[in-house]
Amino acid sequence: MALKRLIEVMQGGGGVLSIVLAGHPKLSNDLKRPTMEEIGARATTFILDGIQKQKKEYIDYLFKQCLKPKVKMESIIKPDAIDFLASQLSTPLQIHQYLNLALTEGYRAGIKPVTEDLVKSVLAFDLNGREAQLIRQGYDPRTLAEALDIKVKEARSFIKGGLNGSRRDEIMDGIKTLGIVL
What is residue 1's predicted lDDT score, i.e. its pLDDT? 65
The domain locations on the chain are 2-40, 55-122, 130-178
Q: Is the pTM of this model over 0.75?
A: no
Cα gap 39→23, rounded to integer Å: 16
pLDDT in tens, 36-80: 777 778 788 777 667 778 999 999 999 999 999 899 999 999 999
> pLDDT tens across 73-128, in order?
999 999 999 999 999 988 888 899 999 999 999 999 999 999 999 999 998 877 87
Check residue 34 and give its pLDDT: 78
pLDDT at residue 159 is higher than 80: yes
